[in-house]
Chains A and B, each alone.
Chain A
Amino acid sequence: MSDRNDDRLDDIFAEARAVSPPVSGDLMGRVLADAARMQRSSVWWRINDLLGGWPVLGGLTAVTVAGLWLGIAPPAAFGDLTAAMTGDNLQVSLFADASWLTLEGVVDG
């Protein structure tokens, strides 16, 4: 009886070994989409590593923002100092009728 049960189990194992479902297009699509997503994030991290990681990126960002801010709205002391050193003030208007939004610079007189 036990031998018969063993044989039956072996038959079921053989039946199971024959199971080989085809990969659907949907599954392949999901797997490749995962791969593309991982690859993109991996490339991003490699760039990050090359630049030196988050501390460097954070520093770069802070310097960029500070530079931009100084360009748009330089402190008055900077204006006085540069005018004194180099010459006249020049006013540049971004919009014809927007007198409130002007950039001040200095050009050699």
Chain B
Amino acid sequence: MNATPANVSDEALLIAFAKGDQRAARHLADRLLPRALGQAARMLSDRDEAEDVAQEAMMRLWRIAPDWRQGEAQVSTWLYRVVANLCIDRLRRRRGRVGLDQVDEPRDETPEVTAQMQSQARLRALSDALAQLPERQAQAVALRHLEGLSNPEIAQIMDISVRSVESLTARGKRALTDLMAGRKAELGYQDE
């Protein structure tokens, strides 16, 4: 019942939604909400915050639907931008209070649980390190290395040139490497 033909574009669904088609909302949410939630979860490494961001991003989509300008932008590009901006806002608030104190010590010492906790700690450390970067760098690095998007796609999302994307991702990655290297002992890396 919820299946939508693959050839119906996000934009067509959004226009149908704006005209009052209630099923279009369900189809759009089925398609776009998992993507928005995943992007937010990867950037924030916090389930509750990621859900709030995903809900807010979808709310903005519903709100803009009646004014959507056909053919100007892809809905998915627009959504990537909105989620990235909302995550950057959250990361900005996180600055100055970052640390690993949010990550609990494992109660269960089995290797699987310990490995899972360390994985969570690494992902949280990555998110906290993103919070320390200049915002454009953080956004470009996240889109490139967490979402796996190409530089031209990122350029479109951030409304900048491909050359600027290359520069932002290179500088951002270098800064992240330094920030993460300073925490390798906390993250369970044994170094020589």
- Residue of B29, B123, B147, B148 near A32 (CB, 8 A) is B29
What are the residues of chain B within 8 A of A9 when measuring CB–CB? 173, 176-177, 180
Which residues of B19-42 are within 8 A (CB) of A? 20, 22, 25-26, 29, 33-34, 37-38, 41-42
A34 in contact with B55 given A2-B177, A12-B180, A28-B33 (CB within 8 Å): yes
Contact B29 A42 (CB under 8 A): no
Contact A16 B58 (CB under 8 A): no
Chain B, residues 36-53, CB within 8 Å of chain A (1/0): the string is 011001100101001100
Contact A32 B41 (CB under 8 A): no
- Residue of A12, A19, A28 near B29 (CB, 8 A) is A28
- Residue of B18, B47, B50, B146 near A13 (CB, 8 A) is B146
Across the A-B interface, give the 3 residue pairs with the lowest CB-CB distance, nearest first: A35-B25, A38-B62, A13-B145
Query: Interface residues, chain A, CB within 8 Å of chain B?
Result: 2, 4-6, 8-9, 12-13, 15-17, 19-24, 27-28, 30-32, 34-36, 38-39, 42-43, 45
Query: Interface residues, chain B, CB within 8 Å of chain A?
Result: 17-18, 20, 22, 25-26, 29, 33-34, 37-38, 41-42, 45, 47, 50-51, 54-55, 58-59, 62-63, 65-66, 119, 122-123, 125-126, 145-148, 173, 176-178, 180-181, 184, 189, 191
What are 10 pairs between A and B in contact, CB < 8 Å? A2-B177, A4-B191, A5-B177, A23-B33, A28-B33, A31-B58, A32-B26, A34-B55, A35-B62, A36-B22
